[in-house]
């Protein structure tokens, strides 16, 4: 499969449904003696434990997203989240991060600006990173346009600046991931992301499922990197009525090892409807449905009944450094 | 009176109440033959006509502000408005400007970012305009801090970039004004503003009331500049209960000539409450009250009963160019 197909898959943050996914129980590529134990065992759990990071994306993008995601984190059913540094609502979530140092907050490294009426651009000056910008002076709207134009050196400078800005605001990120998968679009961008992550001793969201479409990926991993078995992320073809069933099936089909479930939380309110104007995919109703599901008693019960243990990127990262 | 006091007055966008204001009927400083006629006469009205620009500030700052201001413009009781180019909701109001070329939209030149949880920075790269930025990399929160740090050359580059960006997005501004009065803080910034306005053949919001505290102002005016008699802008000491009475008194006390009434429109919704968190002055309830007043039948009736004629900056600007 070409990287192009991989791009298409990641572009939508759509991965194979859990039943179709490759279910590896070995969660580290390393074959060093330390890796004789699985990741789950190294984290101190019996080898058949099903570990899940329930992760809210896009914090900082909008007030509606911030308050719904904070609510999600505070129910205890969302275990992790990541922040978009270039967006105007960053100060609100940075204030939360400073007063809630226990919250598992990473950085949702941002090189795209996907909505039509509400947009943002780089932390660095536009003169410094021209290849990241569309004709309107904002980030490109799609990850494919972004990847087609981005000079990886400028992407590297920008994501280093996003990390520096986060730290300057008192955010101590527990992990990194890539908004809309832009940094997962080709080998040069993946190399950039790993170089920056390694320099900052931060884990990255990477799934073993991606190896088949990005065969270079294993060669980029360092000894401390963690690869999740699979990523659960709901697809645009799931109907509103099928929402809970999709997640319920995903939880029931979880395999031993570490899985990440990506959700997008917001309220279906006037602001979010404005942000996602004419864009139902990942729009305001979508995010309200995700919010309702992950804060529901039904979700809590599903996790219990299926013996799923929620974990954080901080927990995973801390143990990795000891291994 | 020192400029400092003038700063304090403009800082709050608080001007003398209409009854206390200096009421000049001569609205142009020029003593050239063309100015033998008053501005009102040159606009084609009898000399005792009371002309009013009802002006909504801060468009582009938030979705709540955009939709309430558009509603205000569409009632016909708000005659003009101005746009903040650096803010993330600019694309929404730019789209409106492109599809409503008749709307009287100017630029609310922006060099401050005043809220705590929701912020923005310059159109130009941060490396290009370091004097405009606070330690967080955003514009300074207050106009006094901004004026104390700003290199006027950098302010000039930034506001030229804001005008260029507006035009690139299809906005044809009818006038200029200054968010939080930052460009009205001292002579150097006023000179910058006039130079840029003259180069772009755009009128600026300037009130004759300001001459007493900024005696250099008349010397900066070009032959086509227009000076309004007074500016009506509600003050923080007006209670919610006194809101309508304040405006009613202002309308009843209007004098012949051109007056500008500045309003700040938004809904008291979740987004606006987040933007103006812990800041009731110019906050969400304030803006909801302004919205309710300027879209009310009571306001329409007041204008009719007091023979007030609403005009736009486009109308004023077009006639000035003929004079």
Please tell me which of the candidates B92, B116, B137 has its beta carbon nearest to residue A274: B92
Q: Does A118 touch chain B (CB under 8 A)?
A: yes
Q: What mean pLDDT is predicted for residues B267-279?
A: 97
The nearest CA of chain A is from the CA of B232 a distance in Å of 30
Predicted pLDDT at A320 = 61
Of A7-21, A270-284, B45-59, least confident by mean pLDDT is: A7-21
Q: What mean pLDDT is predicted for residues A226-252?
A: 97
State how far the Cα of A277 lies from the Cα of B299, in Å rounded to an integer: 33
Predicted pLDDT at A2 = 36
The nearest CA of chain B is from the CA of A195 a distance in Å of 25
Put simply, the answer to whether B125 touches A125 (Cβ < 8 Å) is yes
Q: Is A176 helix (H, G, I), strand (E, B) or coil?
A: strand
Predicted pLDDT at B126 = 87
**Residue B16 class from Cβ within 10 Å (0-12 exposed, 13-18 middle, 19+ buried)?**
middle
Indicate whether A303 pLDDT > 80. Answer: yes
**pLDDT band at A25, cuts 50/70/90?**
very low
Cα angle, residue A74 at apex, residues A71 and A77 outer, rounded to 5°: 100
Please tell me which of the candidates B92, B118, B277 has its beta carbon nearest to residue A117: B92
Q: What mean pLDDT is predicted for residues B53-75?
A: 98
Characterise B137 by phi-psi region: left (phi > 0), alpha (psi -120 to 50), beta (else). left
Q: Does A89 touch chain B (CB under 8 A)?
A: yes
Predicted pLDDT at A126 = 87
Token readout for B200 is 């772009």
B53 and B259 Cβ atoms separated by less than 8 Å: yes
DSSP A179-237: GGGGGGSSHHHHHHHHHHHHHTT-EE--BGGGGGT-TTHHHH--TT---BSEEEE--TT
**What pLDDT digit, counting tens, does each position of A122-133 carry?**
999 988 999 999
Put simply, the answer to whether A118 touches B92 (Cβ < 8 Å) is yes
Maximal C-alpha separation, chain B: 55
State how far the Cα of B105 lies from the Cα of B167, in Å rounded to an integer: 12
DSSP H or E stretch at residue A278: none
Indicate whether A113 pLDDT > 70. Answer: yes
Token readout for B157 is 């580059």
DSSP A60-102: TS-HHHHHHHHHHHHHTS--EEEE-TTSTTHHHHHHHHHH-TT
């Amino acid at each position: 499969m070409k990287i192009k197909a991989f791009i298409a898959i990641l572009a939508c943050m759509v991965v194979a449904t859990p039943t179709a996914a490759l279910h590896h129980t070995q969660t580290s590529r390393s074959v060093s003696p330390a890796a004789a134990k699985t990741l789950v065992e190294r984290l101190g759990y019996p080898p058949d434990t099903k570990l899940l990071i329930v992760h809210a994306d896009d914090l900082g993008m909008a007030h509606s997203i911030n308050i719904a995601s904070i609510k999600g984190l505070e129910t205890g059913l969302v275990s992790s989240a990541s922040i978009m540094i270039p967006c105007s609502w960053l100060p609100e979530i940075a204030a939360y991060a400073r007063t809630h140092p226990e919250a598992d907050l990473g950085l949702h490294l941002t090189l795209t600006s996907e909505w039509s009426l509400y947009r943002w651009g780089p932390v660095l000056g536009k003169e410094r990173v021209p290849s990241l910008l569309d004709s309107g002076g904002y980030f490109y709207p799609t990850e494919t346009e972004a990847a087609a134009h981005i000079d990886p050196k400028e992407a590297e400078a920008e994501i280093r600046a996003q990390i520096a800005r986060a730290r300057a605001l008192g955010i101590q990120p527990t992990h990194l991931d890539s908004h809309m998968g832009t940094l997962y679009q080709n080998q040069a961008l993946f190399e950039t992301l790993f170089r920056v992550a390694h320099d900052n001793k931060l884990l990255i969201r990477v799934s073993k499922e991606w190896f088949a479409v990005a065969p270079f990926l294993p060669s980029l991993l360092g000894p401390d990197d963690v690869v999740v078995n699979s990523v659960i992320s709901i697809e645009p073809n799931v109907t509103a009525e099928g929402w809970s069933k999709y997640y319920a099936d995903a939880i029931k089909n979880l395999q031993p090892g570490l899985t990440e479930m990506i959700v997008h939380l917001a309220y279906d309110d006037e602001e979010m409807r404005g942000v996602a104007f004419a864009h139902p995919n990942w729009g305001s109703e979508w995010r309200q449905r995700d919010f309702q599901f992950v804060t529901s008693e039904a979700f809590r019960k599903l996790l219990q009944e299926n013996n799923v243990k929620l974990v954080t990127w901080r927990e995973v990262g801390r143990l990795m450094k000891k291994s």
